[in-house]
Amino acid sequence: MKSSTKWHSARWEAVADNGFTLLELLAVVSIIAILAAISVTLYGNVLNKARETAAISYLTSINKSEELYKQDAGGGYTADFDVLETTGVLTNGPGGPVRIEKDYTFTLTAGTNGDGTPAFTVNANPTNNNASMKWFFINETGIIRYAIGGAAGPGSQTL
């Protein structure tokens, strides 16, 4: 019986010599946690960039639709997304002056400038009001402008 106990004792020592210590395991787990935190942050940034790119593309489509509508309607712009769909550039969606697409809320206005020339504006704000994302603005000039963390306007930075 005593030799059996020694054999178990030697067996346990052999397992302990080939295994990892608690300190080594904690170091590996810590490194994995740090890498996971970095990758989650980067993934969030990539998603925000993709949403911003989709919003820019949609603003470009709205601008093109407005210009086509202006040519067809005899010189004016519209503030209704349903009307812009008739140009064939925008896809079907909710009508009126507000539309939610691509995780952004697009608000469309139309009228005239102070000198009587036709004008339109579109504001694209993130639906989640994320302060780290870009907020966009476009008007009849076709120049897309942006601000970070708040509404963009005619005086904001250009892309």
- For the chain, the structural domain boundaries read 2-158
Mean pLDDT for all residues in the chain: 87
Q: What is the CATH number of domain 2-158?
A: 3.30.700
Question: Which tokens in the block code for residue 23?
Answer: 């300190």
pTM: 0.76
pLDDT at position 2: 45
51-62: pLDDT as tens digits = 999 999 999 999
Q: Is the dihedral of CA 75, 106, 98, 93 positive or negative?
A: positive
What percent of the chain clears pLDDT 70, i.e. is strictly above it?
A: 89
